[in-house]
Amino acid sequence: MGINLKFYSEDWERIGRDWAAWWAGEIDRPMVMIETYDLMLSAGPEAYSEEFFLGRPVAELLDHYQAKLEGNRYRGDAWPKFVPYFGPGLVAAFLGSRVRPMPNERTVWFEAAERVGIEDLHFEYDPGNVWWKRVQDITRGAVERWGDRVSVGHTDLGGVLDILASFRTMQNLLCDLIESPEEVMRLSGEITRLWLRYYDELHAIIQGAGRGTANWGAIWSPGRTYMHQCDFAYGISPRMFENFVAPDLDACFKRMDHAFYHLDGKGQIPHVDILLAMENLRGIQWIAGAGQPLTEEWMPLLKRIRDGGKLCQVYVTQGGARKIARELGGKGFAFYVILWPPMSDTEVEDFLKEMATEY
């Protein structure tokens, strides 16, 4: 089945040229992405059920998302992408955790099928794991169906300690850092090696489309990229971050052309200096979190990221994008713009011209 997109080869040439220039620091304006709707956020509760994840034929599942792709409009530096999204930290499922879809909350939880002591935990590659096979089948099916019309992204693999916490629980893992640090490091190493294998095997499928690399975050790369994370780090000290998180992050960063880190919430801010010092990290995504001030109200943090030599991706309204660009300059930022208040097509075009010429 073909796909009817108002996005053509010349648009892909522009995407490739401008994003490559952004990574290289050769473009002075911000990257500005505007879409009619966000594919993941628009998924209804039916998309967060085990029947939807595992029971539907791949072709039927892709039909579901193709309708969304065709109904979307990609403005500025946005591009058509599809990410097989099964919830944050799916590597836990690949390693045998129980998967708990939460349709009403539109998310998925992962937890150990049985609780064992940390010294008894071991992780191995299982080519027959039903979730791993499903993700490969969907990724391969998307590439075969849409070819070079759509950028097919990596599923949300998750952060190393977030994955480990799925087996240990958050509270137990916090205790493990103090009581069993060697075991945490052993298991983190096992997970990191497997994480990279999963990434590589999915990348071998994805690169066949020839449309670069994408993921759940709002960045595109002509090479290898990923939005790395460690949400568990919200509750630990910088010293623990440096000892238990940074080494595995760096091992992953080194395998990427354009590594990004998902800085999720103010509890992660104490780790920023460590991240800024990591040579193989190219950029930081800042998410303030529910109930926190809007993105543009964190100007000192955004300036610190840019002054530290890292690129920065954020989700903002058009007013927020203007404020950041006006105060810090647009270079090095990637704005995913949530249109609020709504704008007409003419107003969107005027806004894109303003971002390209005035900041």
311-316 and 107-111 as β-strands: parallel, antiparallel, unpaired?
Answer: unpaired
Q: Got the DSSP string for 311-351?
A: EEEEEE-HHHHHHHHHHH-STTEEEEE--SS---HHHHHHH
Residue 48: phi, psi to the nearest 5?
A: -120, 55
Distance between CA 15 and CA 216 in Å, rounded?
Answer: 18
DSSP 8-state class, residue 29: S
Tokens (6 digits) for 148: 């070079």
DSSP 8-state class, residue 142: H
Tokens (6 digits) for 308: 């530290």
Q: For residue 76, give the nearest of 317, 351, 357, 324 by alpha carbon.
A: 351
Query: Along the chain (359 residues), what's the average pLDDT of each consecutive run of 10 residues?
Result: 89 98 97 77 53 79 89 95 90 92 68 85 96 95 96 96 96 97 98 98 95 95 98 96 98 98 97 98 96 97 98 98 97 96 93 93
pLDDT of residue 51: 60
Tokens (6 digits) for 111: 């937890």
Q: Got the DSSP string for 77-128?
A: T---EE-----TTTHHHHTT-EEEEEGGGTEEEEE-SS---GGG------TT
Q: Is 339 in contact with 34 (CB distance < 8 Å)?
A: yes
Residue 34: phi, psi to the nearest 5?
A: -130, 125
Q: For residue 95, give the nearest of 120, 132, 134 by alpha carbon.
A: 132
Where are the extended beta strands (E) located within the chain?
A: 31-35, 74-76, 81-82, 98-102, 107-111, 151-152, 225-229, 258-264, 281-287, 311-316, 333-337
Tokens (6 digits) for 145: 């169906």
pLDDT of residue 42: 44
Q: Is 33 in contact with 336 (CB distance < 8 Å)?
A: yes
Residue burial 145-170, b: 16+ Cβ < 10 Å; e: rest: bbeebbbbbbbbbbbbbbbbbbbbee
**Per the confidence metrics, is the pTM higher than 0.85?**
yes
3-state secondary structure of 129: coil
Domains, the chain, in order of start with CATH, read 9-357 (3.20.20.210)
pLDDT of residue 76: 97
3-state secondary structure of 44: coil
Q: In 10 A of CB 75, how many CB atoms?
A: 18
C-alpha distances out from residue 163 to 39, 87, 95, 104, Å? 24, 12, 9, 23
